[in-house]
């Protein structure tokens, strides 16, 4: 079953604007990861936030994690046309199987 649920499913913004995507999950986690996928291509790891962290930054990316609400958000600041892609959150649970459970993703379109 898909644990992560992204919101919104689709997002369209102008270049330069910020994009915020949200992810909710159901069970306890060790960490939560965000990935980007360009159309039909492989997944690129963006950022990993551990369960004891609340916020993490990487370049134009900012990720927050609220374990009490079982939710995370990904903020892309000053978006560019090249940011157009699908973004997935994936939860890394506590089962030690190493399985990532992916959400359905948010499709982001950044218009030039």
Residue with Cβ nearer other proteins (22 or 104): 104
Q: Does the protein bind other proteins through residue 99 (CB under 8 A)?
A: yes
Q: Partners of 57 in the beta sheet? A: 62
Q: Please give the backbone phi and psi of residue 82, each rounded to the nearest 5 degrees, phi first.
A: -70, -10
Query: Residues 13-32: x/- map of binding to other proteins (CB under 8 A)?
Result: -----------------xx-
- Size of site (CB under 8 A) for other proteins: 24
**Collapsed DSSP state (helix, strand, coil) of residue 51:** coil
Of 22, 77, 104, 109, the residue at the interface with other proteins (CB under 8 A) is 104
Rule CB under 8 A: choose which of 28, 41, 55, 66 binds other proteins: 41
Site string for other proteins, 75-94 (x = CB under 8 A): -------------x-x-x--
Residue 44 beta carbon to other proteins: minimum distance, rounded to whole angstroms = 8
HSE toward the beta carbon, residue 64, CA cutoff 13 A = 10
What is the per-residue burial (b if ≥16 Cβ within 10 Å, else e) of 20-42?
bbbbbbeeebebbbbbbeeeeee
């Amino acid at each position: 079953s898909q644990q992560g649920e992204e919101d919104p499913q689709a997002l369209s913004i102008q270049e330069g604007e910020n994009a915020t995507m949200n992810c909710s999950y159901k069970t306890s986690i060790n960490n939560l990861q965000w990935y980007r996928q360009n159309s039909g291509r492989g997944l690129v790891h963006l950022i990993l936030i551990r369960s004891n962290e609340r916020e993490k930054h990487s370049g134009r990316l900012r990720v927050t994690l609220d374990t009490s609400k079982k939710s995370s958000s990904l903020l892309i600041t000053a978006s560019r046309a090249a940011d157009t892609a699908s973004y997935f959150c994936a939860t890394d649970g506590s089962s030690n199987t190493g399985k990532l459970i992916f959400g359905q993703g948010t499709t982001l379109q950044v218009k030039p």
